[in-house]
Structure 1
Amino acid sequence: MKPVLILFFCILIIFAKAQSNSSFNQYVPNSNQVLFVKTPSASSIKGKMFLYERKNDKQSWKLRDSFAITVGRSGLAKDAHTAIPLNNSLPLKHEGDGKSPSGIFKLWKVFSYHNLQHLKMPFVQVDTNFYCVDDVNSRYYNQLVLADTVAKDFNSFEHMKLNSNGYEYGVWVLYNSNPAIAGNGSCIFLHVWSDENTPTSGCTAMAKENMLKLIYWLDSAKNPVLLQVVGE
């Protein structure tokens, strides 16, 4: 084989290893779908999401798709309770820091302004009556509530139906859940970005077409998780 071709294949192998989530296998024994997000530095607002899938834990991971994402306006911060080893220099995630959480997280419901069909995830259609509570003094902190069915003890919340398309399609990330610890951060979603240069307040966002591909790919039977780290 010619030296140029040998070099080319070596580069491909190195690149494939760099994009792999296999080094975290021990932390996802019961998951067969992983949304692997990497940002080049802790302060970066841009990164990339890789969608990995396998048939079972005895099979190898297959890369199904990858695309650009944006994260919090202040980059990434460490989930204080994550099981995976992370850079100790990362700050801890807390409410209002403008950072997206770094760690590994289960996914909950897909949500949308529209009545979506043929999903393989639990789903909720949201309207102006749906709130996510981010008031650290509320019993409903980091919970999805129907405003007209709860005794309001909160002064701060996020509308789940916006005047923009930001939450037109999204997925609830189970960060700081079960139990929710006041002040550790709330209302973390995957959702539609404003554009490729606009960060979020702490969520992970992507182009609408990629959000749609993602929500129809997700399968609750495969126990999908979000794995979000600072990578090379």
Structure 2
Amino acid sequence: MTQLQKPADILEVRALTRDRTKGNLRFGQITVPCALGRSGILARKKEGDSGTPSGRFELLQVYYRPDKGLPPATSLPLEPLTPVSGWCDDPRHRLYNRPVRLPFASGHERMWRQDRLYDIVVVLDCNMYPAVKGRGSAIFFHIAREDYRPTEGCVAVAPEHMRLLLAKIRPGAVMQIHI
């Protein structure tokens, strides 16, 4: 590493020993609770297994609901969601694990949700470059339910914690999810 390079910001995620669907996310001196997938943290992620994949994933892009508040303060790329925002989760489709515009005939997830989960959502570099069919899609860092119920495989935190973390991290930040 040269003098001009700084180490990447690392958000570390670990499951609780008493409940593998919940964990702690640590960034420097900040530690906050998080929700994890129903299957806990898995070493071998597969589409539909409801597991949070272990590994190191760059935080790539932040999406937000402009009708639910101000955009988060962040130095990451930021884009508003719209009612036609979707994400392809069909392993047979060429746009697997990519954003799509709705309506979309193949399997997909709506990004404009009725609940708060995607009011702020960060795309993680999980199975993205290249997207391997069946290895999991739509693995995000997003807003948790009020009771921290399990996700479908994502990492989720409270809205105020998401805003706090996004304001502090820099481009190139990574989420390290530990088994």
Same fold, judged at TM 0.5 (above) = yes
TM-aligned CA deviation for residue 41 of structure 1: 4.8
Match of 1:77 in 2: 42
Paired residues for 1:1-232 under 5 Å: 31-41=7-17, 44-51=20-27, 63-78=28-43, 92-114=44-66, 116=71, 118-147=73-102, 152=104, 154-220=105-171, 223-230=172-179
Q: Flag as ranges the 4+ runs of structure 1 deviating above 3 A.
A: 40-43
2:7 and 2:97 map into 1 onto residues whose CA distance is 24
Letter in 1 for 2:99: L
User: Are the counterparts in 1 of residues 73 and 166 from structure 2 also a CA contact under 8 Å?
Assistant: no
User: Are the counterparts in 1 of residues 38 and 50 from structure 2 also a CA contact under 8 Å?
Assistant: yes
User: Are the counterparts in 2 of residues 105 and 174 from structure 1 also a CA contact under 8 Å?
Assistant: yes
Question: Closer, same or farther in 2 for the Cα pair 1:197/1:116, shift >3 Å?
Answer: closer
1:47 and 1:40 map into 2 onto residues whose CA distance is 5
Match of 1:85 in 2: none
Number of residue pairs matched by the alignment: 172
User: Are the counterparts in 1 of residues 72 and 163 from structure 2 also a CA contact under 8 Å?
Assistant: no
User: Are the counterparts in 2 of residues 171 and 215 from structure 1 also a CA contact under 8 Å?
Assistant: no
- Which has the higher Rg, Structure 1 or Structure 2? 1
Kindly, what percent of the aligned residue pairs are identical? 28
1:187 and 1:215 map into 2 onto residues whose CA distance is 19
Structure 2, gaps ≥5 residues long: none
1:197 and 1:47 map into 2 onto residues whose CA distance is 10
Structure number with greater CO (CA < 8 Å, separation at least 6) is: 2
Letter in 2 for 1:40: L
Provide the aligned C-alpha RMSD in A.
2.0
1:37 and 1:49 map into 2 onto residues whose CA distance is 5
Report the TM-score when normalising by structure 2. 0.89
1:106 and 1:198 map into 2 onto residues whose CA distance is 24
Letter in 1 for 2:176: L
